A = this chain, B = another copy of it.
Amino acid sequence: MQNYQNKELILIPKPTLDRLKLYHRFLNEIDFEYVSSEIMSQRLGVSPEQIRKDFTYLKTMGKPKVGYHVETLRKELDELFGVRKTTKVILVGAGHLGKALVNYPGFTQYGIEIVAVFDNDKEKIGKFVNDLAILPMRDLRRVIKRFEVEIGIICVPKESAQQVANLLLTNGIKGIWNFAPVRLLVPDDVFVVDEDMIQSLLTLKHYLELKKQKEKHE
């Protein structure tokens, strides 16, 4: 589950932005020349009106009776999500989750490159995750400066998450993807996206429970 702590600065509404990403993925999977809102609707479970409304936030326009030019749409969404230019990120915490993220395919495909992995466990430092050596925390500053990193991923236990966040911020990080189940305290100009793994499962559990109860009452 993803939460947003900062809510200003939003030009495209967040729900629309999320759907645009869904459309983007879909457009990358098909090879038609044109696609209509009706067809996308059937495949993605979003109403055609919604899709057309969402596209009004883009420059690309559709042709009546034909639909939207796939390649044009794809290009504009590539641009919107900055797929072309690589964004360099660092990751702190080389536990199971950290390793999984470094190994996650698809990041590169979306222009995201993990340039370094940090940990404070001496046992881990020097070892490799993929082809990245695990670095000690004291190298943080140097790496951030050198690669002009703006985004940091926090995969440490919740006890040390705030501390790591502070360290990232003092070294110039402006965006944090936080996997630790705590709400981080950060200045207003820093974006934090919380990824709470447990929340998702709790939501599933909750809806299934609700459904059972509903069935009982019928």
Q: Which residues of B contact A208 (CB under 8 A)?
A: 150-151, 174-175, 191
Given A151-B201, A201-B112, A202-B110, check contact A191 B177 (CB 8 Å).
no
In the bound assembly, the distance between CA atoms of A205 and B195 in angstroms comes to 15
The answer to the question of A204 belonging to the interface, with a C-beta cut-off of 8 Å to chain B, is yes
Q: Which residues of B contact A191 (CB under 8 A)?
A: 204, 207-208, 211
The answer to the question of A45 belonging to the interface, with a C-beta cut-off of 8 Å to chain B, is yes
The answer to the question of A49 belonging to the interface, with a C-beta cut-off of 8 Å to chain B, is no
| Other-chain contact of A207, B2, B9, B25, B87 (Cβ < 8 Å) | B9
The answer to the question of A89 belonging to the interface, with a C-beta cut-off of 8 Å to chain B, is yes
The answer to the question of A82 belonging to the interface, with a C-beta cut-off of 8 Å to chain B, is yes
| B107 near A96: Cβ-Cβ < 8 Å | no
Q: Which residues of B contact A104 (CB under 8 A)?
A: 96-97, 197
Chain B's closest residue to A203 (CB) is B193
The answer to the question of A99 belonging to the interface, with a C-beta cut-off of 8 Å to chain B, is yes
| B9 near A211: Cβ-Cβ < 8 Å | yes
The answer to the question of A121 belonging to the interface, with a C-beta cut-off of 8 Å to chain B, is no
Q: Map CB proximity to B onto A172-186 as digits: 1 under 8 Å, 0 otherwise.
A: 001101000101000
Known contacts A151-B205, A175-B208; 12 additional CB pairs below 8 A are A2-B2, A2-B199, A17-B206, A18-B199, A82-B206, A95-B100, A101-B197, A106-B181, A107-B198, A112-B205, A193-B203, A195-B200
The answer to the question of A22 belonging to the interface, with a C-beta cut-off of 8 Å to chain B, is yes
| A181 near B151: Cβ-Cβ < 8 Å | no
The answer to the question of A214 belonging to the interface, with a C-beta cut-off of 8 Å to chain B, is yes
Q: Map CB proximity to B onto A65-94 as digits: 1 under 8 Å, 0 otherwise.
A: 000000000000000111000010100000
The answer to the question of A210 belonging to the interface, with a C-beta cut-off of 8 Å to chain B, is yes
Q: Which residues of B contact A111 (CB under 8 A)?
A: 205
